[in-house]
Chains A and B, each alone.
Chain A
Amino acid sequence: MEARSFVLRGVVAGGVAGLVAWLFALVFAEPQIEAAIAYEEGRGEAEQALAVAGGAAPAGGAEEEIVSRGVQATLGVGIGMVGIGIAVGLLFAVAYTLLHGRVALRPRVLALLVAGAGFLTIYATPFVKYPASPPAVGSDETIGDRTALYLVMVIGSLVFLAAAVAVTRLLRERLGTWNAVLVGGVVYVALAAILMSVLPGLGELTINVVESGPRVSETPLPLRDASGAILYPGFDADVLYSFRVASFTAQALLWGVLGLVFGGLVERRIARETADRATEASAF
Chain B
Amino acid sequence: MDGDVVVRPEENPVTTAGAVARAKATAVPASETLPWLISAVLVGLALYFFIGIDQGAVSVFGDTSYVHELAHDARHFLGFPCH
Instruction: Give the Cβ gap from B13 to chain A, nearest Cβ, in Å.
Output: 7
Q: Is the CB of B75 within 8 A of A80?
A: yes
Given A29-B77, A147-B56, are A72 and B70 neighbors across the interface (CB < 8 Å)?
yes
Count residues of chain A with CB under 8 A from any CB of chain B.
Answer: 78
Q: Is the CB of A87 within 8 A of B44?
A: yes
Q: Is the CB of A7 within 8 A of B57?
A: no
Given A91-B40, A100-B23, A101-B25, are A79 and B81 neighbors across the interface (CB < 8 Å)?
no
Given A2-B28, A101-B23, A143-B57, are A66 and B44 neighbors across the interface (CB < 8 Å)?
no
**Closest residue of chain A to B4, judged by CB?**
A104
Residues of A within 8 A of B41 (CB): 90-91, 94
Name the interface residues of B25-48: CB closer than 8 Å to any CB of A. 25-28, 32-34, 36-37, 39-41, 43-45, 47-48
The verdict on B62 contacting chain A, using a C-beta distance below 8 Å, is no
Q: Is the CB of A101 within 8 A of B24?
A: yes
Q: Is the CB of A101 within 8 A of B28?
A: yes
Residues of B within 8 A of A83 (CB): 47, 50-51, 71, 74
Given A72-B69, A76-B72, A133-B76, are A104 and B40 neighbors across the interface (CB < 8 Å)?
no
Chain B interface extent, by class: 35 or more
* Chain A contact surface mostly: helix
**Closest residue of chain B to A107, judged by CB?**
B23
Q: Is the CB of A270 within 8 A of B73?
A: no
Q: Is the CB of A76 within 8 A of B9?
A: no
Assembly CA distance A25 to B75 (angstroms): 12
The verdict on A35 contacting chain B, using a C-beta distance below 8 Å, is no
Given A89-B44, A101-B26, list of 10 further CB < 8 A pairs? Answer: A4-B36, A25-B74, A73-B73, A76-B73, A77-B73, A80-B71, A107-B23, A130-B79, A147-B53, A270-B26
Pairs across A and B, CB under 8 Å, 22 listed: A1-B26, A3-B33, A7-B39, A33-B73, A66-B69, A75-B70, A77-B77, A81-B78, A83-B47, A84-B48, A87-B45, A88-B48, A90-B43, A91-B44, A101-B28, A104-B3, A106-B23, A107-B19, A130-B81, A133-B82, A143-B83, A270-B26
Residues of A within 8 A of B (CB): 1-4, 6-7, 10, 25, 29-30, 33, 66-67, 71-73, 75-81, 83-84, 86-91, 93-94, 97-98, 100-110, 123, 126-127, 130-135, 138-140, 143-144, 146-151, 243, 246-247, 250-251, 267, 270-271, 273-274, 277-278
